[in-house]
Structure 1
Amino acid sequence: MREIEKPLVTVVLTAYNHEKYIGETLSSVFVQTYPNIQVIVIDNASIDGTISVVENVLPDGSDFLLVRNLTNLGLCRAFNQGLALAKGKYIIDLAADDVMLPKRIELQVEAFEKLEDEYGVVFTNARYIEADGKLLNFHYPVNYKEKAKKTIPSGDVYKSVLENYFICTPTMMMRTKMLTDMGGYDESLFFEDFDFWVRSSVHYKYFYLDEVLTLKRNVPDSLSKQVYKKGNRLLETCYIVCNKAYDLNRDQEEFDLLAARIRTFIRKCFYAEEFELAVRFRRLLNYIQNPGFATEMIVALCRLHLPINGLYRFYLNNLQKKGARPEGFSLLNC
């Protein structure tokens, strides 16, 4: 592509108290080999030095916007602020603690420009890093050439989205028009990706680009680690999304996959002591198929309000300390 033909890409970076990491994250955007980038930082009322770091790392003459929220509006609403200001043909939702490798935008745009308009997302592999930057495992296990060892769903991925949490969220580049047509992220939800995948993949195709282009930071307070905390809002969001999927499903296979996913969420509700929510999940499951003996037993235990949460979190912590966490593991799937 000649320089003038390169479409604009908007990077929306949402931040809240990311003083430790946002400098590295922004620097990874500014050193991209792709030249045509708009950067929008949405600060969700940080009380640390996040804003100062942002101002110090800005290059001269960059196409850059900084929005300072007076209160923390949450991830979904903050991203939608950036979406409303986005001028790019494509858009990236980047957390303020993750890192893009230098050729990421160039390679994803090249892939996108070869695809039909029915493709709404290009996603890739990623490597996890510790809070201090130490390299960990890959999202999809790789061979010696850093290519995925297994076939990753691509094309119509709606069934795969119903089945499990397989996409590494920060690796996605999205078609901006798709997002605006969808109305952006659902601002009533606590987190965005499961809902976005369900609502978008039922209408648009996804393309998997087999490259490692993002470093995803494994921080102690990440959302995936909160799913088993009592009172978390993650499972409530999952319940709302499962109801949406129920209305969107197109065939019996999709209903069967949704039923299996609901059973998984019922188990999570038991471990997180979200007992009433487990009963609501069970009611939704009953519209699809008979819950079965094992699920009914878990729901019966939920009705007893057993104090299981502390014991289960102790078990998970010990499991991870022993290095038993498999590659691609997500607490939202276990």
Structure 2
Amino acid sequence: MKRWSICMVLVFLLAGCGYFSSDQNLNTQNEETTDIVSPFQHVNEDGEIKETPRNKPFSTYQKTTNFLLIGVDSRGEKNSRSDVIMVARYEPTDKTVKLVSLMRDSYVKIPEHPLNYGKLNHAYYYGGKTLLKETVEDNFGIPIDHVAIIDFEGFVSVINTLAPNGLEVEVSEEMIRDLKLAGEPGKRVLKGEELLGYVRFRHDAESDFGRVNRQQQVLISLKDEAVKQLGSLEGITQLPDLLSEMFKHVETDIKLQDYFSLGATFVLNPVTNVETLRVPVSNSFENKSYDHVGAVLQLDLEENIEAIHQFFSDEGEGG
């Protein structure tokens, strides 16, 4: 399986990277997977190991594309649940990224669930990225073009690579106690493992709702760090090494050839608009409990599907 960083996918989208793909690229994806010796090598038809060219001509991607971004509640276990579920919609012609966070406790129909219904994050546990993708598409009417997955170790590596000096965030008194941080509440700079704890924190009145807001905040902040690092000629020369590190930690179905096109077009088509939405939207759900899954968010699916469609339309607004 080729590897990519979930944060880098979103970072490059937010920073305005072009994305080049074609039907031929997609059709050859599975055939080429076993030919990758390292992120930057391949095996040719004669069985020889060759360096993959990094300077091929590229085209700016013009088609709106939906990425399913999955943060896995795992440190390497075989079976795990998805801790973060987001859809990033890249609209290159409008220079816009729209980010939808789907709350993991949403009660949805899961095709392979023993009782047909369960929490959204259970879909990944039962059937991995394929079943989660199908569940998102079936319940929310969002067609998914590509999937990217990151686990805890990968998240920390991405943070340390993109933001070695940390990110400034707002830390509450509850977080100070729960995460065992030194100092007082307020604006703080957190790094690596601390930021992992920050985006996973849920032990206050906002619970998962606050966590979703923090996840969106950190991803957008990572975009800003990527702009700083790669928004110059000197930064572009460092791109292959940066992407090589990112390439190690997360699964995706994005083609290696496109991996470089994303980075190469980083400064050519800057995104000027970033919008966010949380699903379920306000006043569109009830807190329920079922014996087989425990506490869930019982969604008014019709209302939430309409909110998503409106958000993805030209008139959509974040919420």
Of the two structures, which has the highest relative contact order with CA contacts closer than 8 Å and spacing of 6 or more?
2
Higher share of residues assigned strand: 2
Q: TM-score over 0.5 for the alignment?
A: no
TM-score by length of structure 2 reads 0.23
Q: TM-score, normalised by structure 1?
A: 0.23
